[in-house]
Structure 1
């Protein structure tokens, strides 16, 4: 009988799903619980996976719920959570970065050894099948003597240009390397040993809102095991190149660890005519083989064995194989290797140049406006526009910092849970206008009711209790059925009765609006609804999913044929519209579609990017029937084969709405509010594209 280790996950964020899928696929491991202080997140994850939910590590340990845990909290909590779990006699796998320093990792390792439990590092890419093959070829001498190695992480980092800026990753330059460096240094450590850092070069700095800069390009020179190693990190909107290149005396190997492919180019003994042909054919056949194997693997596994997913499976297979067999971990994931990796990163961090402190103005804000979601794209622009106009602002955020250090005399950031109605009411005291820009990203309707709809009602009740004069709520134009090109949408159009056929986000926002307007009718809630269009401009993302499905920075499959005019609107026009809603008496109880003047189709938008920035993005039509068919098949497989619950049933009309086929009439906000969105096309393109910093170069 196979020994089974019961596993818990601590932290129910995005990465938790990858770990949970890998645990489910690992022989000898069983997911049994999740821990998160956010009760809604914990319950939603637990319900989807059929496991127990706990609000704290102490509660989980007291219940004796598991034998091992995966620690997926923010990195600055890794050491304390790991030590708490180790003290409770539980094995720990810690997501990278394992801790914030080599000293912290050493402390975790020492505690684990003293307690007799396993301590594994979450260096997942070392679990890829292609990496295992590379190691085997290297060990067999098939590459010859290695002279140089290049390890790359060239992949866009959206938060550098579009936020959110309050997350751990963005708080300090050090954190960028702490987050990304472990991937690169773990490869080097496992292949050649601990690297000696020789040089660090930073470039392509980007200015952050609120002051300060961050480097987008890192070049680190090192030497390990007699091999010269170059680490390259590029975080601009670049072609995805996450790879390792080893140059040996007999062959060169290139591992694309983002796609789990390994191509080896060796010498051959043909004459000068056939030699280049054989060389090219060899590489062609290798690429064909790798691509065919990966495509077949993903198709037959219902996309459960993607390269990224496989990396977690390989890691979990080794970790639980070792735990169940009572043996030492493979060096790829051992505490000793984790400590060496972090020590190398420490050596790089000592070479970082001193940062110029952001000049923080003195003076205490006296806020009369409150912005919920103020650190997001629209929230940042709105907060700054309010401050520029002389209105002091209180921003509600998960953390106590935000991108407003340069205007700290006019803006304060406070951490308040949206689940705490009393705290919300207290935060709104003395506030005249509240802007609710909050949204949730839910996968089931039950989760949306708790994380979006209930939160919206809670904020509204708090606003009434605090005597707020105006509540502005941002819904979405996605709640409309935009599938009919012959129907012009106004605020009177309505969402239709069958909102159950819509995607969860659109349905949830529509339900929030319905309940707010019911409160307005019954209790006099002074609410106004805003529905921004496709918002573009400085601080926004290049890869806007309102336009199409992106495949990296250089390719997009647009929703439909891309020939219909899209409901674009500039970010500064949205901010101005929201403020006008709060200060126009006639806006109470009304809704407004904040759509700019008709300007560009999807194809016109990308043509403007090419003409103004010189960046040619590859675009292709996205047939709606194909999107719908693929979604319907995924729904069937997830509900019938994988037994997932609460998922939204695909709708063809909903997919047609993605293409924004229905034109909008923006007469109402112009007439009632006096709103004046940008009407000049050249000025629009300049603000939306030319000066928007879309690529980070």
Structure 2
């Protein structure tokens, strides 16, 4: 029997996981890929040796492929799957299978007519810890199951980054379809279909005018085989993804995040002895599995065994079960009907969410009449404050951003024009810059898998913006970079606006290297052409709208513990976001600013230890600063690098010089910004504390 030929529809990050897992599954071949982003599809094809890159969905559906994996965003699942369902092919959709029961019904009807087989990738059903729990329950070793409790408390990167234009934030139902289907898939798989449910919904968080994020609720479910309760919360600080099943003769616990399973049972002895023996047995289970996870991580990193983290094993198990089920029964266990039941439950839960309370607008209603300023990348943290400052100064503002949905209230103020665009796209830039006298570039262009990609996104886009501004007759370009473009590792050096970008950018991390190259390129353009460019380099920007856990403190393996770049006793170059915005706006018309660079560092500069200590008191959390040394950190990074190189991976060598610069030992003299821009940053510690730290007290959404 020939292998099944698989085509991937969508070439994003999840497609790479599918491609890697398919390599390990016998009986299937990765045959082709399609994505509207042809470059992404071609890159995936090169990386995994895919033979064909299709030019359209219809071409892929008409090919000789046997099955299609639909890996597009949820809102496109239906449109992406239907050509393959109509062609009678086997289709595996990423969760959720659809965004409504109506979509699921239409897919079911089409599949019945064409004979297509449709499954859904609910990878958490195949999480190793859950598989062990289910096996223990079904074996009867713990007696009859009576009750299931599930705690799903997880961080959410898009929420922390305030990327509210993401699909999951557009409708109240979407966050459930994106996130709640994970725990619900396990609940329904073990406890059976839901017969009745009730919801205790917490108040929504208003993320834009009239738009609420329902990020937390409690759901009680009466299922066919047992009752269940789900605590659902995204945007949590501590990750808990744990199922507990209470049985007549014991308790089973599966922790999906740490990939651990254990049981609590009775022994034949009296209660005090029983408690000790039972606790010892449970402790041995947990300790053994914790050691196994560490061992497997080390061995996988050293390429001594295949990848074995819980996420990948769950994905691999899901795809493997899908194709095994097709071969043995002709129908996947996790099929369209299963996925449709999950969508239906999410709809029932969303129907019981509380509405966002209505409130009177507090924004000014008078449209400003000043000159028009284009702000590129203006919907981010610094951008939103800059737009507000521009409006307050009487400017009209045109904001270009990639995502224009669920924006903050400031973007609904009179005088604001929103245009969708990408700073890497010349046509978008020309449209946004046309007819304006001033441009503020806050867009960094995004990241990439290699330095070449990062350079193209951050450096080339900055140069293109400058060139287009020249061509369009813009009177001044304000480019907002970062102090990371400078070398800041010399405690005896004083940094001024005249300090050049790091002369050895190749010894820095990719972000700092690109920032240094972008600054150097823009200064060269001004030198050669005289085009008026102002470079603004903010320090460590803090305030309302961003996480207080700043990377300038150190690196956070989790929010609670900060591994410092050094001993954490040197003053750090903080700047309040409001002060940053006021300087950016002032640089538009300041007579002496053209061709100059200004570093924005405030007058209140607590060290890392002081900042984290005060933050801990403010948010009432046990935050810890762990001092380190650049030498120690560098030796650890060198060890990792040597292991990766020994296993054939091409990775950039770490430099101690980069870690020294991250420690921010140098001192700043911002006299130039204060004189030329009339800049007066906050100098009162109490005010700094209020605007940098106290704004996060009681903040439980991110």
- What TM-score does the superposition give when structure 1 sets the normalisation length? 0.91
Residue 224 of structure 1 and its aligned partner are, at CA, apart by: 0.6
3-state SS in 2 of match to 1:187: helix
1:409 matched residue in structure 2: 414
Contact 2:175 2:215 in 1 (8 A): no
| Distance in 1 of aligned mates of 2:531 and 2:63 | 47
| Distance in 1 of aligned mates of 2:541 and 2:52 | 37
- Residues 181-232 of structure 1: CA distance to partner in whole angstroms, max 9, x if unpaired? 1102101111111223431122254332545433332111111124221111
Taking the TM superposition and a 5 Å limit, the aligned residue runs for 1:518-667 are 518-638=524-644, 641=647, 643=649, 647-667=651-671
Q: 1:139 to 1:377 in 2, by over 3 A?
A: same
Q: 1:310 to 1:180 in 2, by over 3 A?
A: same
| Distance in 1 of aligned mates of 2:588 and 2:636 | 42
3-state SS in 1 of match to 2:558: coil
Q: 1:693 to 1:196 in 2, by over 3 A?
A: farther
3-state SS in 2 of match to 1:284: helix
Q: 1:35 to 1:636 in 2, by over 3 A?
A: farther
| Distance in 1 of aligned mates of 2:568 and 2:525 | 39
Contact 1:479 1:510 in 2 (8 A): yes
Residue 636 of structure 1 and its aligned partner are, at CA, apart by: 4.5
1:511 corresponds to which of 503, 517, 527: 517
2:8 matched residue in structure 1: 8
1:485 matched residue in structure 2: 491
Residue 236 of structure 1 and its aligned partner are, at CA, apart by: 4.5
Contact 1:33 1:65 in 2 (8 A): no
2:377 matched residue in structure 1: 373
Q: 1:517 to 1:70 in 2, by over 3 A?
A: farther
1:676 matched residue in structure 2: 680
2:271 matched residue in structure 1: 272
Q: 1:28 to 1:357 in 2, by over 3 A?
A: farther
| Distance in 1 of aligned mates of 2:348 and 2:464 | 48
Residue 287 of structure 1 and its aligned partner are, at CA, apart by: 1.0
Taking the TM superposition and a 5 Å limit, the aligned residue runs for 1:329-478 are 329-331=331-333, 333-355=334-356, 368-405=372-409, 407-439=412-444, 440-478=446-484
Any gaps of 5 or more consecutive residues in structure 2?
none
| Distance in 2 of aligned mates of 1:595 and 1:25 | 52
2:214 aligned with 1:215, yes or no? yes
Any gaps of 5 or more consecutive residues in structure 1?
none
| Distance in 1 of aligned mates of 2:628 and 2:62 | 50
1:315 corresponds to which of 301, 315, 318: 318
| Distance in 2 of aligned mates of 1:35 and 1:172 | 28
Taking the TM superposition and a 5 Å limit, the aligned residue runs for 1:277-316 are 277-302=276-301, 304-316=307-319
Residue 676 of structure 1 and its aligned partner are, at CA, apart by: 1.6
Residue 451 of structure 1 and its aligned partner are, at CA, apart by: 2.5
1:176 matched residue in structure 2: 175
Moved more, 593-602 or 44-53: 44-53
Residue 75 of structure 1 and its aligned partner are, at CA, apart by: 1.5
1:58 matched residue in structure 2: 57
Contact 1:370 1:428 in 2 (8 A): yes
1:688 matched residue in structure 2: 692
Residue 160 of structure 1 and its aligned partner are, at CA, apart by: 4.1
| Distance in 1 of aligned mates of 2:610 and 2:698 | 16
3-state SS in 2 of match to 1:585: coil
Moved more, 193-202 or 254-263: 193-202
Residue 326 of structure 1 and its aligned partner are, at CA, apart by: 6.8
- What TM-score does the superposition give when structure 2 sets the normalisation length? 0.90
Taking the TM superposition and a 5 Å limit, the aligned residue runs for 1:129-144 are 129-144=128-143
* Count of paired positions: 692
| Distance in 2 of aligned mates of 1:356 and 1:181 | 24
3-state SS in 2 of match to 1:572: helix
